[in-house]
Each structure stands twice: as C-alpha cells, then as structure tokens.
Structure 1
C-alpha cells in the first residue's frame, strides 16, 4: 500500500482529523515546491520510516502533490492546493447573472473543463497502470464538458431566448435554479469522468495493506462518495451567497447603496468555496472501506476482518 494511503489509514479515520489534515495540505505555498523537492520528500517516506514531526513537511508535499496509485507527481494546476486559487474566479464568474448567453457559456466552459481535468487527474487509476488513455475516456471528457457547459448556461439561455422580464421568474432562474443545477452538474462531471472505475474496478487491499484484487463494487462506491462530496461543494457555494444576498438586500444599507450587492455576492461566493473545499474533501475517508457482503464473491474470502480497503481518489 502506498505511503500516502497508510498515512490516511492511521491519521484520517474521523471527519475532524481529515479536516485538520486538509486545512494544512491546502496551503497554496506548497505549490512552489519543485518536482525534485517532492521526489526527495517522497523517497524519505518510501524508505519505510515511521512519520515523525521532522517529516511533517515531507508528508505535506507527498500528500498534496503525489498520486497515491501511480506515485507520480501531480501536475501543479491539478493539485489540491491549486483548486481554490484557480476555481474561485471560475465559480464566481459562472454564478454571475450575465447579460448575454455567450459570457455564460464561456465561463461555464472554463469551469467544467477545469473540473474535468481535476477529477480525471485525481481519480483512482489503480486498474490503468501502464495503459494509455483510451479513446472512450477522451470522448467521455469532451462529452461531459460540452453537456455540462450547455446545461450550466440554461438559466441565461431561457431568460434571453424567451425574453423573460417578470421579476419572480428572473429571481427563480438567476438565484434559485443555479443552486440545484450547480450541485447536479458537479456530480455529473465526476460520475462521467470517472465512470471507468465503476466499469473496470479499482484495487482493494486487506488489513495488512496487501493488494488482493480489483473490485467494481469498490469503484462504484468510490465514485459515488466523491460525486456526493463535489455536489455538496458546488451546491453550498451557489446557495449561501444567494441566501445572503436575499437577506442583505432588505437592509437599509443595501437599499441606499445598491452597488454593494455585486462585490458582496462575489466575495461571499469565494469565501464559501474556500471554506467548503476542505469540508467536502473530508466528508469521506481517502482510504475507504467496503464491507464483505458488498464485495464480489471472489473477493469476500480476502476480507478476513469483514471489510477491505480502497483508495477513494479525490
């Protein structure tokens, strides 16, 4: 079992312990580390020595920059610490009530493209080692981005194509519909990009960390849990700023200074996104467990402790 997974097994079994770890790992300053520094930290951990306080920086670099299946360094823009700096402006811009359809499609395309790249890079790739990306996977990525881009711009398309001017309908399409839509598209993007994990299965491990086979059931559970966490991330990020704006616009301060509405909405969306990223990452363990009765029959005998472990991905 990879050292990163062993760390999550010993240190990240509760929600609050995972939250504490992620708050540390998401520090953007770790993005400044070179590949040589990361590989050096990795070699220190692979040597088999138990983690101690002196190795804290090495663990941070390994957990935030190295893929737990392949052992390869993750491209900088798709590392977990890069998610907030890159996605924040994209999320904020995609939630803005645009004046036209083209800007809405443009920002949705950028957001969905980055989300697809992040989901694909941080997937469980245990059953794909030594294989090149297939044409099917490429088509899934392109299809997911195209569909999510068009679906994400539906509120703007409906308003402008139908010429909706009624205030209640505009409020519905601009402030209410984007909340479930954002959550659904985030989940859809994850499910589609990582669908091969459900079809081909992922590596499962016994209680001693030894690989015992490939499980489709574990792959389905990994993708489902991660999709739920991504829906919580984007759904909450869309909901809180709209609810906050709804209450603030009734106050005298905002009634006298209507220009405050836009910056407050943008800032609140960025802040909520930043707070929700470590929370969403912590909802489910990185090293998940699947019970014996939920495994394939050929793998049930290997679950001597009643369950097996798997890498959930991110």
Structure 2
C-alpha cells in the first residue's frame, strides 16, 4: 500500500530557504485567485476527507495535491475559514503590481501621493488582517483605529518626504517617495492590525501541537519578521524600477508614448513581485519558534503558567504561527 501524503504538512522541507521558497511559490500562485468558490469548497471537503482517510474511491494523488494547494491558498491555517480573495497572499502579485505601479507612475502631485498611499494602505490593512494569527481576535473598534492610524501614517510620511525632497532632492530621488512611505507605513500598519497579539500574546505549542503558553514576545518576534518580509517584498520593484524609468525616459521613443508609462510600470512591478512574493514569505519559517527559557527571562508570569501546566516536562522549544 503506497504511503499516504501528510496532508497538513508542506510538500517541501521548511527548515531551508529553498524548501520554503518552493512552498510559497506553489501556494501563492495567482491563478488560484480565479478558481470558483465551489471548487475551493470542494477542495476543502476533499482535504478533510483525506485527513480522515475517507476520500472517494479512485481519488488520485494529483487530485489530493491540487486540492491541498487550493485549500492552503484560500483558507486560513488557524481558523480554517475562507479568506477574502483580495487579502490572500496569492493576490499579492495582481493587486500589488497594479497599486505599486500606479504609485510609481503618479507621484508628482500631493493629491496623487495621498490617494495612492490611501489605496495601498487600505489594501495592506486587508492583507494584514486576513493573514493575522486568527487565534487573537480583534474588535471592530480596534480595526478601525488601526486602519485610520496606518493609512494616516502612510500619507503623512509620503507628504513629508515629498515636500522635504521637493526642495532638497533631484527629480530622480523624488521617485523614491512611494517606497519611503510604504516602508514606514508597514512598520505601523502591521503591528496595529495585529495589536491584540502584542497585548495578550499568541498561542505557543509544543512539538506535538498542544497549546502550552501564550507569549507577547513571540508576537513581537513574529510581527517583526512579517514587517521585514513585507518591506523586502516591495523593495526591488520600488527601488530598481525608478532607475530603469529614469534611463528610459531620456529616449525620444519613450517620451512619445507617455500614456504607456503607467502600464509599463505595472507590468514591470508584476515581474518583480512574481519572484519577490515567495522570496519574502520564505525568509522566515511560517512555524516560528522561541526557547522556553526566553519566557523565564522576559515573561516570568507566563513561564510560571507553563511550568504549572507541563510540570517537569517543559518543552525546550515553543512553536507558533507568525502569520504572513
């Protein structure tokens, strides 16, 4: 009898960057965004059936793997709920390329800067909420405050950079206003959208998946890694493309087709993101970890709860979902 697929584990080794890259390249495939709701629901059913060993007779391994791909691309790993399509990591390429390309093209006026930063941070807020650690619920009030704070910080940063650089920097340097605003806003947007994790901590499990503690330090570590990943994700497109456009716009043929500059930048950003989305997601393991002794030093109350719960069998390493 052939060995069954471990349906809840990645197909590639997650202890290496290459393994994580292959996994996220597979699971963030933008084509999964156009799969019908019925197909996604059927994929979830098949995965649940396979998990119980009760899949329909004649089901092939290829069908199971494809169902696993659809399930992991569209359903939250903590709650199992279907995610909003615009908030899925698989939508990062089409969504990100359109918004980032627009930010890079229309940055010369304050109105354009404010509008596109608002659009971008609204999109980021949705992505951050969709890919949070779902075991840390957030109230509607907290979400509204987080959204307003994050979008506000992005627009203030963008306008500040624009007015400062307009007087002191060359037109080429001004092209980097969008990246400065996006990087700064990510440092605000993600922690605010996931503030409950920082306030109350996130579930930490032992090697067998049993929840044994809640840690605020784990939340800080996970969110910090997500912030870094998001900045890395957009950096190449927003840093390299201005150099390319600066060179191209010196040619007469490029000056004659200004109407195509926007679409060109959108497509170029798409090329960057197709590679950078899985790269950025793969920088750190999805199943993040901390040493139990860290709690003893930084969160003694939680460590005491851990010792009361586990007794003499305190796990050396605690694991948690860092989000994306």
TM-score normalised to structure 2 length: 0.80
- State how far apart, in whole Å, the 2-side matches of 1:10 and 1:23 are: 11
Who is 1:12 aligned against?
A: 14
Distance 1:5 1:119 in 2: 26
Per-residue deviation, 1:178: 4.2
Compute the displacement of 1:298 (Å): 3.0
2:136 is the alignment partner of 1:127 = yes
Q: 1:116-265, aligned counterparts within 5 Å? A: 116-128=125-137, 133-158=139-164, 164=167, 168-172=169-173, 174-245=174-245, 248=247, 254-259=250-255, 262=261, 265=265
1:79 to 85, 88, 91: 88
Q: Which moved more, 1:107-116 or 1:176-185?
A: 176-185
Larger displacement relative to structure 2 (264-273 or 190-199)? 264-273
Residue in 1 aligned with 2:281?
Answer: 281
Cα–Cα, structure 1 residues 101 and 21, in superposed 2: closer, same or farther, change >3 Å?
Answer: same
How many angstroms does 1:90 deviate by? 0.8
Q: Deviations over 1:180-214 (max 9, x none)?
A: 44322223221221122111111111111122232
Q: Which runs of 5+ in 1 are unaligned?
A: none
Instruction: Tell me how far 1:114 sits from its aligned partner.
Output: 0.6
> What is the aligned counterpart of 1:65 among 65, 74, 85?
74
Residues 1:310 and 2:302 are matched in the alignment: no
> Secondary structure of the residue that 2:43 maps to in structure 1?
helix
Pick which of 217-226 and 89-98 moved more. 89-98
SS at structure 1 position matched to 2:219: helix
- State the match for 2:56 in structure 1: none
C-alpha distance in structure 2 between counterparts of 1:9 and 1:30, whole Å:
18
Q: Alpha-carbon deviation of 1:177?
A: 4.8
Question: Where does the alignment leave 5 or more consecutive residues of structure 2 unmatched?
Answer: 54-59
Counterpart-to-counterpart distance in 2, 1:169 and 1:238? 17
1-structure distance, mates of 2:78, 2:238: 32
Question: Segments of 4+ in structure 1 off by > 6 A?
Answer: none
Normalising by structure 1, report the TM-score: 0.83
Q: Is the 8 A contact 2:153 2:188 kept in 1?
A: no
What does the per-residue CA deviation read over 1:25-63, in whole Å, with 9 as the maximum and x for residues that have no partner? 222222233344323322333342589544111111111
Residue pair 1:5, 1:68 contacting (<8 A) in 2 also: no
Distance 1:70 1:60, change over 3 A: same
Tell which deviates more after alignment, 182-191 or 76-85: 182-191
Q: Deviations over 1:104-163 (max 9, x none)?
A: 2111111110111110111002132xxx7241332122221122123224344446xx7x
**Alpha carbons 2:190, 2:223 under 8 Å: kept:** yes
SS at match of 1:7: coil
Question: For 1:113, which of 119, 122, 125 is the aligned residue?
Answer: 122
